[in-house]
Amino acid sequence: MPPGKTGPEGTAGARTGRRESADERADRRWNDLLQEVRVAQTGSQILFGFLLSVVFMPRFAQLGDFDRGLYVVTVVLGALATGALAAPVSYHRLFAGRRLKPQLVDAAARLVVVGLVLLALTVGSALLLLLRVATGSAAAAWIVAAVMAWFAACWLLLPILQLRRHRDDRAGRRPAD
């Protein structure tokens, strides 16, 4: 058995490389998740609040059908993102005291991923609406595509590359003599 392990992961009383029990690991993962959600949730709530106010601006009446439709899609995406990013609170309340912390963390983490995807889509559609109204240019779609590619690079590609590098580094190590 590798150093730092006292049993297979996933079994009762199992220890991970951090020498923490399954419950300690779930507590740590929950706290990490809450810190992550605080950042994303605040951004989604501010964006959603701004989007709700747009309809009351005088210029909104001048928008064409496509831009009004885009606005509706953007607001709905914002509402869905806000709901998904706030869902871990509800899960915690429903799961509290039932000794289901690992399941809580897994379910909440999946909802946060969904919320982040919805948030990225909200930002993209809000940016498209803003750039179309501000510039009236067909270049708005290209700019938004570039921004969404940047999101994909920062949120997916770079972490995946880092994980691969870490995995390759670990595979290249030789056991200590």
pLDDT tens-digit readout, 141-166: 999 999 999 999 999 999 999 999 98
Going by C-alpha positions, the residue among 118, 128, 52, 59 that lies closest to residue 84 is 118
Each residue's pLDDT tens digit, 90-146: 888 888 888 888 898 999 999 999 999 999 999 999 999 999 999 988 899 999 999
Going by C-alpha positions, the residue among 155, 153, 79 that lies closest to residue 113 is 155
Going by C-alpha positions, the residue among 38, 44, 127, 55 that lies closest to residue 78 is 44
Each residue's pLDDT tens digit, 6-20: 444 445 455 446 788
- Give the pLDDT score at 139: 93
Burial of 9 (0-12, 13-18, 19+ CB in 10 A): exposed
Q: What pTM, to 2 d.p., does this model score?
A: 0.78
